[in-house]
Each structure stands twice: as C-alpha cells, then as structure tokens.
Structure 1
Amino acid sequence: MKKTITVLVTGCAFLVTAAPAQAAPKDPVRALKSKLVSGHGVRFTETTTLIGDGKVKLQSRKGTFQFNAKGIAASDITCKTGPAEPERTISVGKVSYTSGGIWKERLPDGKTWLKTGGMPGGAGGFYGQVINPAESGTLAALIKKGKLSGSTITGKITFKELEKVSRWFDASIPLRMHDDTKVTYTLSLTSAGLVSRVRSSYAATGVLDNSGFDGKTITIDSRFTGWGGKVSIKAPDPETVTTNAGS
C-alpha cells in the first residue's frame, strides 16, 4: 500500500511539474512599436451593430493601415451599408479621398474621388470602430485604464479621454453629442502582445442624440490580422480627384 501511495504522489508531482504555465502576453505597446516600419502595416475587418429591441447591422468595413516609424501613415478603408454602393476612403497623411457611397452621384463628370481634410473613416467613420489599437498612445491609455486578465484587457474610457490621445477617434467622429459618453472595450492579445480583436460599445445617443436611439447601444467588433506585413497605399490619380461635391 505504501508503495502504491508513493507511486501516485510521485506521478501527481510529475504532472504538476510538467503542466506548462500559460505565458502572459508581451508588452502590447512595445509589440506595436516593433511593427511600426515604413511600408508595413496591418489589416482589419469589422461589423457595427445597433442593439436595442433587437439587433440591427448598421455596416461592415474592411481596410488596411500603413505605418511609418511614428504610427499610421496611410489607410485604405471600404465601408458597406445595406444595399448602397460601398464607400471607399484612402487617406495619406492628413488628406483623405472618398469614392462611391453617397458621393457617387454628387461628383462632377469624370471625377470619382472627393478630396477632404483628413476623415480617414469617411462617412462610415461615424459608426466605425472608435478604438484604434495601431496608435501607441491610444493603446497605452487603454492599458492604463483597463484590467489585464490572461490575454484580455477590459475597461472603460470616455469620448473626451479618447479625443485627447487618439487622432483616429477625433477624425472619425468629429461631431458628437456627449463627450462624457463611456466606451466599454475588450482587447484580445496574441502571445506576442499584438491586438487581434477589439470589441467596443457605447450609448447610441453619444453620437446622435435623438429619440430613435434612446436606450440603444452601438457595438463594434473588429479583428486585426497580418501585423507587420508589407503594405502600399497611394493617393488616387489626381485626374480623378475633385474638391467640389454637389448637394
């Protein structure tokens, strides 16, 4: 009997010793900065849903961010809303070019792109992801305010706080009703510390305060892939660009 007990204890000890401990993700900000190389970037897909009496899909987007050593240098984002033609927005530096969507019938003949002053999300930005994990300052703020559990960071941050740290947020939703609106967020991290998924939600009246949005929540689910892959985003042919759009 003693021999049997000894064998069982030894075996259990071996199992405890052999079980691999789950490694904590690496520092996300440091991991992001290691990917900020000119000519490289990351891709994303996302879905925005309005939740209230039921669930209504507002839009879906897919896009690419191109980096330089400081952060996001350019972006190319396509937004699909219902049966309407997709809208595509290319941004290089602080200049944006938008095509399709609501602009298709408003541009002069021979022009397919509207040049504007830096709205990287286009019209779709108003319902797009408010949290951009490709901005190191934004990511640092989210980590500071959030709580890490395993490979997930959860927390809350206000529109006003996001505006201070995120050029992406301020440019995507330049007009909003309530700066004290709280965004609840969840970041999923890979073992390398890179963000693979962002889920966020906030009161719909934070952006458009009307009775139709009372008690409803906007939720955005974004997934990021290909961190550090080669990316090349260029402005459209100048011959196809205009700064004039009809009403």
Structure 2
Amino acid sequence: MKKTITVLAACGAVLATTVPAHAAPVKDPVRALKSKLVAGHGVRFAETTVVTGDGKLTLQKRKGSFQFDAKGIAASDISATSKGRADERTISVGTYSYTKGGIYKEKFEGGATWVKSRGLPGGASGFYGQVINPAEPKTLAALVKKGRLKGRTLTGKITFKDLAKVSRWFDASVPLRMHDDTKVSYTLTLSSAGLVSRVKSSYAATGVFDANGFEGKTMTIDSRFTGWGAKTRIKAPAPSDVATAPN
C-alpha cells in the first residue's frame, strides 16, 4: 500500500511539472498594453501585405516603430517598399507627418527631401498597410470586446465604421476608404504576458479601392510586433530638409 501511494505521488509530481506553459491563463491584453505606455519607450513591427483573388500578389512590405506616451502612440517611423513604386519613409510626431520618397520622390525648393503634412501617419503606404493597430488601448479594447479569446489567440470581425470610431491610426491611415460597412476579419496572437505579438487582418479590397482591378479580391496584412517597452526616440526631420505638401 505504501509503495502504491509513493508511485502515485511520483506520477503526480511528473504531471505537475509537465503541464505546458500555454495552459496558464493569458493576462488581460489591454492592461498589459497600458503597462507599456511609458514616454520614451515603444514597440517595433514588420508587416507584409498581399492581395489574393486570381492568384497571390505581394503589394508591399513595411517596417518601423511606434513611440509611446501615457495615452498611446506619440510618434512613428515607418519605411515601406513595394514593386513599381519608390521606397517611402514617413515620420509622424504629434499631428504632423513627414514623408520622403514614394509619391514625393523628387526634391523640392532648397533641396528639401521631406514633405510636411497633417495626418497620414503611415504615408501613402497606409492605404496598403495594417488597418489594426494593437498599440492603441481603445482599439485593442474594442477588438477584445467583439472577438473571442481562445488560449493565446483572439479572433473576430469589426467594420471599418466601428474601427474608425476607436482608432485614430485607422481613420488617419485610410481616410479615403470607399465602404464603411466593410468587415475586417482579425486574428491577434498574444504572448503569455498578454502583449500582441502578431496581427493578421483581411478585408475585401474594394473597401478601400473600389475599382475593377480589385473586384472580388481580398487584402491580407500580416504584422509582427517585437520589443514591447524598448527605449524609442523618434524625431522630426531638420526644418531645413522639410517642404510643405503641395496642394
């Protein structure tokens, strides 16, 4: 009898030490995000955008970083590459954005290489970029509310209209969207700390580009986020290098 009890106890110890780490409940993602919103810190990302329908085409790739303040995103620095368009870089600080390359590939008066404007934190590449920004507390809260969390994966759907209500990023990145009732399907992958490590979203391409070439096609954007809370410093370009956006 004593031997049986000893064996059972040993088996219990083995089971206790082999329970997979992912079995532990994930921390509240909104609370986890807010804990990282410290001035002078931020997060890095890299993403790929593809369009599918009659095949699969990679439209663009982007990488960059967001700098935080206590409320969310205070600044961003994003570089984009795509086939058939000049490489683009956009720095946003506060309500102003500075873009170099892309549609502004030529130099301006005085040799300025950056163009200053309001809005468009993602530059022109924002029209092809990730529409869901997990670094915005209100956005993340809406996704959690509308979605279903299973393990470390949050899935759901949200319309352009509802996304625009909570996300300054979306509203500024895609200001000329065609259909507010377009539904975005999203999948967020969380770390054990509750932080978003990946965002995959997809929607009907005609939601933004209502043209024959996009009819029946789907935009899918896959973004990876790393370095949550890393020290980040983003500065606007020197005034001597900046021109005002042409009308």
For this structure pair, what is the TM-score category when the shorter chain's length is used for normalisation?
A: over 0.9
Number of matched pairs = 245
Mapped to 2, the partners of 1:196 and 1:52 lie a distance apart of 27
1:85 positional shift: 2.8
Larger deviation: 13-22 or 103-112?
A: 13-22
Name the SS of the counterpart of 2:97 in structure 1: strand
In the alignment, the residues of structure 1 paired with residue 40 and residue 8 of structure 2 have an alpha-carbon distance, to the nearest angstrom, of 57
In 1: Cα distance, 2:189 partner to 2:172 partner: 24
TM-score (norm 2): 0.93
Match of 2:187 in 1: 186
Query: Does residue 1:219 correspond to 2:220, yes or no?
Result: yes
Compute the TM-score of the two structures, normalised by the length of structure 1. Answer: 0.93
The Cα of 1:162 is off from its aligned counterpart by 0.2
Change (3 A) 1:53 1:3: farther
The equivalent residue for 1:111 is 112
Q: Distance in 2 between matches of 1:182 and 1:3?
A: 63
Shift of 1:9: 6.2
Q: Is the 8 A contact 2:107 2:113 kept in 1?
A: no
For residue 20 of structure 1, report the CA deviation from its aligned partner.
2.1
One-letter code of the match for 2:25?
A: A
How far apart in 2 are the matches of 1:217 and 1:169? 18
Structural mapping, 1:42-57, within 5 Å:
42-57=43-58
Q: Which residue of 1 aligns with 2:34?
A: 33
Give secondary structure in 1 for the equivalent of 2:73: strand
Contact 2:49–2:59 (CA<8 Å) still a contact in 1? yes
Give the 3-state SS of the residue equivalent to 1:53 in structure 2: coil
Deviation at 1:30, TM superposition (A): 0.6
Q: Does the CA-based 8 Å contact 2:106-2:113 persist in structure 1?
A: no
Say yes or no: does 1:134 pair with 2:135: yes
Decide whether aligned partners of structure 1 residues 197 and 4 sit closer, same or farther in structure 2, where only a CA change above 3 A counts: same
Distance 2:81 2:109 in 1: 23
* Residue in structure 2 matched with residue 75 of structure 1 by the alignment: 76
Tell me which residue corresponds to 1:237.
Answer: 238
Three-state SS of the structure 1 residue aligned to 2:120 is: coil
Q: 1:120 matched to which residue of 2?
A: 121
- How far off its partner does 1:106 sit? 6.2
List per-residue Cα deviations over 1:134-183 (Å, max 9, x = no partner): 00000000000000111010000000000000000000000111000000
Aligned residue number for residue 67 of structure 2: 66
Q: Which runs of 5+ in 1 are unaligned?
A: none
Question: Which deviates the most, 17-26 or 51-60?
Answer: 17-26
Deviations 1:188-226 (A, max 9, x none): 000111000000000001001112111110000000000
C-alpha displacement of 1:99: 0.5
- What is the aligned partner in structure 2 of residue 153 from structure 1? 154
Q: 2:125 is matched by which residue type in structure 1?
A: G
Query: What is the deviation of 1:11?
Result: 6.0
1:163-202 equivalence runs, <5 A:
163-202=164-203
| 1:107–1:244 CA contact under 8 A, matched in 2 | no
Cα distance in 2 for residues equivalent to 1:12 and 1:219: 47
Letter in 2 for 1:142: L
Aligned-pair CA distance for 1:16: 3.8
Q: 1:19 corresponds to which residue?
A: 18
- Residue 168 of structure 1 aligns to a residue in which SS? helix
| Cα root mean square deviation, aligned | 2.0
Q: Deviations over 1:7-56 (max 9, x none)?
A: 87666555444432511211111111111001000000000000111100
User: Is the 8 Å Cα contact of residues 106 and 245 (structure 1) preserved in structure 2?
Assistant: no
Q: For structure 2, list consecutive stretches of 5 or more residues without a partner in the other structure.
A: none
Contact 2:177–2:208 under 8 Å retained in 1: yes
